[in-house]
Amino acid sequence: MALTGEGLRARCARELDRSPRGFLRSAWLHEAFLAVPREHFVPDRVWWPAPGRDGRYALLDRAERPRAWLKAVYLPGAALITQIDDGAVAPTGPATGRFTSSISSPGVVVELLRHLAPEPGDKVLEIGTGTGYTTALLAHRVGAARVVTVEIDPRLATRAEGRLRALGRAVRVVRGDGEPGHAPGAPYDRIVATASVRRVPPAWLAQLAPGGTLVAPLDTPYGHDLLVRLTGDGRGAATGRAVAPVEFMRLRGQRAPRPYGSLGWPPEAEAADWETLRVSVDGDGQRVRVGD
């Protein structure tokens, strides 16, 4: 039987249907997942995220191993690394270095968008275009004209814009730092970040419509990120809770470590169950508390 993207996409969707962190009866997301070819957005050369015995990350080359490359694209739990050391490492073979861009695993993308829960016609701001795959899923839901996406790396932005246009989704791709958001398009009904932050930027809150939803990975003292879902008040503040453990690459402007106490984390949070955490953010700072 021929190996096809369509067939692997359907199989991946079935596996996500059975996952406790999959579609969870989100019909629109299931439809979008089947409609958008993930392989269209994955570069021909990507690195596998787990190091080999030599400590290097193996390169998957579509030209040399097309079946292995395509299978990797649709593994529900596998992210694929698209950039190392901000592009300083060329994708010519196994490599070492710091991961700086990827296409998140199908399962993580589905979870991210399930919590975002955009509605048709919503205006959406995405921070971190990357390959453009998540952007395409958003455009399928709300319409390409209703999505603005910001990418700090001009090479990634140009490639993603081309891939989106080739698929008939002419989303506005803004080249620049996503930390200030994109004020000319505000207010947004939904804001989603595909890079983690140590502190939710005030600009995102200021650009969120009253009752709007912000979903972003937040750095934590637990050794992993937590996806937080916040509801904005339209006046630059938002409150919400942690909804899932995740791993994302850090927003470039927030890579430098900071004491968790300076980011609103109380000492008792580290020993608490992450599911009990509540988060509130405004122009004065960020506060994490344990319990209701």
Catalytic positions are 104
CA dist., res. 157 & res. 164, Å (int): 10
- Strand, coil or helix: what is 275? helix
109 phi and psi angles, rounded to 5 deg: -60, -45
Looking at residue 247, the DSSP 8-state letter turns out to be -
Cβ-Cβ contacts under 8 Å for 234 (sequence gap 6 or more): 187, 208, 209, 210, 211, 212
CA dist., res. 149 & res. 81, Å (int): 20
CA distances 289 to 115, 147, 191, 194, 243, Å, are 21, 33, 23, 24, 14
Cβ(57)–Cβ(51) under 8 Å?
yes
CA distances 241 to 26, 86, 87, 177, 181, Å, are 20, 31, 34, 26, 22
Catalogue the long-range contacts made by 261-268 (C-beta closer than 8 Å, 24 or more residues apart). 263/198, 263/199, 263/219, 263/288, 264/199, 264/288, 265/220, 265/221, 266/290
